[in-house]
């Protein structure tokens, strides 16, 4: 059984060393699962997310998950619909976004940032990450935006429309 695709099972104790865990490449960024939803009884999933310089996730809204971010290294800029200004966080900083709250993040720095990201619950978003990984593998890189939007919408994640120029 693939632990990143199971919906609900009884939780188990989980311990992983640095660099260990099921790994995916999601739109060019490595995700290493430290606890999968299958292991936590779908209470949550937790992953280490490397954010290369200049990359991030555009504005979006989760309809099913709350997300918690803890910056391990580097600096990450968060945008949130309830804040008038972006929030710049370095190592040790954290950000919580409840479901239904539009948010985005990016690494505007020159070095890789790393975050611990916890999603509550976890099974649906894990399926989305796996689909994005598989779409990238099929495309030999990044899937086109139409496929990304279709995958995220199936998971209840609504991507914000880019501003008109």
Residues 101-118: tens digit of each pLDDT: 999 999 989 999 999 999
What kind of fold does domain 23-156 have according to CATH? Jelly Rolls (2.60.120)
CA 120 to centroid of chain Cα atoms: 12
Q: Which residues, 6+ apart, have CB-to-CB distance to 10 below 8 Å?
A: 41
Q: Which pair of structure tokens corresponds to residue 71?
A: 């910056």
Q: What is the pTM of this model?
A: 0.88
4-28 pLDDT tens trace: 444 557 899 999 999 899 999 998 8
pLDDT for the residue numbered 97: 96
Structure-model confidence comparison of residues 54 and 7, the more confident one: 54
Helices and strands of the chain, counted as H and E runs: 2, 11
Measured CA to CA in angstroms, residue 38 lies from 9, 19, 45, 152 at distances of 6, 19, 8, 20
**Residue 1 confidence (pLDDT) above 70:** no
Checking phi first, is residue 141 left (phi over 0); if not, alpha (psi -120 to 50) or beta? left
* pLDDT beyond 60 at 164: no
Q: Is the pLDDT higher at 89 or at 144?
A: 89
64: left (phi over 0), alpha (psi -120 to 50) or beta: alpha
Structure tokens at 85: 């200004």
Locate the domains of the chain by residue range: 23-156
């Amino acid at each position: 059984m693939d632990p990143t695709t199971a919906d609900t099972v009884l939780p188990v104790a989980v311990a992983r060393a640095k660099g260990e865990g099921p790994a995916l490449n999601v739109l060019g960024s490595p995700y290493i699962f430290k606890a999968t939803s299958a292991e936590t009884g779908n209470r949550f999933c937790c992953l280490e997310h490397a954010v290369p310089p200049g990359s991030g996730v555009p504005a979006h809204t989760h309809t099913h998950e709350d997300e918690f971010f803890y910056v391990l290294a580097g600096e990450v800029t968060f945008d949130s619909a309830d804040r008038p200004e972006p929030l710049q966080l370095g190592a040790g900083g954290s950000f919580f976004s409840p479901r239904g709250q539009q948010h985005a993040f990016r690494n505007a720095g020159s070095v890789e940032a790393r975050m611990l990201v916890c999603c509550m619950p976890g099974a649906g978003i894990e399926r989305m990450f796996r689909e994005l990984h598989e779409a990238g593998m099929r495309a030999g890189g990044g899937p086109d935006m139409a496929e990304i939007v279709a995958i995220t919408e199936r998971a209840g994640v609504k991507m914000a429309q880019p501003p008109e120029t």
